[in-house]
Structure 1
Amino acid sequence: MSVTTTTHLNFRGSAREALDFYRSVFGGRTAVVTYKDVGNVQSENEADWVTWGEVVGDNGFHVMAYDVPSQSPWNQGENPFFVSVRGDDAEEIGSLWHRLAEGSTIVRPLEPAQWAPLYGMLTDRFGVTWVLDVAAAYNG
């Protein structure tokens, strides 16, 4: 079993530009999934915004990013990132979730999602927002 943590940056409409910039600096490959790609367009002018994206470099660099939809509260100074915990074992991710959830505010329950076998988000008692998921192959 393996678990990794990755900084998950939050933007409002500029995630793709940021990911392209980070790739130009650190190298590697970029993967981007839009709200349109997953059928979750809530505002037509945000259809091509990033619902999930990452840059992964051969040198070990890894950062994830997304565009917070306009109907969700977001303040760059208050919630600029998440810590993403990704693993390949649902039981292990579930166990980590239950321990992290103690005293936390659940933003999205840990459950199957369109893009992952398990996905959940919570804000712990220290104010840090965590995203936990079971990795699924991306075929885009």
Structure 2
Amino acid sequence: MPVTTTTHLNFRGTAREALDFYRSVFGGRVVAVTYKDAGAVQDESEADWMMWGEVTGDDGFHIMAYDVPSRLPWNQGENPFFVSVRGDDAEEISALWGRLAVGSTVVRPLEAAQWAPLYGMLTDRFGITWVLDVTAPYNG
């Protein structure tokens, strides 16, 4: 099974603007899911913020982004990105999770999510936050 890693950028209210800018620079397509789209609004002022988005190009360019909700800590320069590991085999993603989780702090356990068969987040012993998930087609 192929596994890919993608830089996942974190913003506070400007993820859509950033993705549109990166698309203008690198080309490709933007896919954007707001908190409202996902039915995950916890603060009405953030309903149109990006819960998840990406720019993908035919040349292989790929970057992901989201807006960190105000209820979570975020400081530009301290936690500006995650590394996203995606694959289509739950067993392999689970095995990678198990090895990566040694000595880490689990932010969100690897489990089913509304948008993916498996999704989890952890910060490893080196301070890098990893997001692992099993891909699912977007049906928005």
- TM exceeds 0.5? yes
Which residue of 2 is the match for residue 113 of structure 1?
Answer: 113
In angstroms, what is the RMSD of aligned CA positions? Answer: 0.5
2:67 corresponds to = 67
* Cα distance in 2 for residues equivalent to 1:77 and 1:23: 22
Which residue pairs with 2:29 in the alignment?
29
How many residue pairs align between the two structures?
A: 140
Q: Structure 2: how far apart are the matches of 1:86 and 1:8?
A: 12
- Name structure 1 gaps, 5 residues minimum: none
Q: Report deviation, 1:59.
A: 1.1
Q: Deviations over 1:55-106 (max 9, x none)?
A: 0001111000000000100111110000000000000000000000000000
TM-score relative to the length of structure 1: 0.99
TM-score by length of 2: 0.99
AA in 1 matched with 2:130: W
Q: Secondary structure at the match of 2:111?
A: strand
1:6 aligned residue: 6
Letter in 2 for 1:54: E
Q: Secondary structure at the match of 1:82?
A: strand
Q: Which SS does the other structure have where 2:122 is aligned?
A: strand
Q: What does residue 58 of structure 2 align with?
A: 58
4+ residue runs of structure 1 moved beyond 6 angstroms? Answer: none
Is 1:138 aligned to residue 138 of structure 2? yes
Secondary structure in structure 2 of the residue aligned to 1:95:
helix
Please name the residue that 1:95 is paired with: 95
> 2: CA distance between counterparts of 1:132 and 1:30?
21
Identity rate, percent: 82
Q: Secondary structure at the match of 1:72?
A: coil
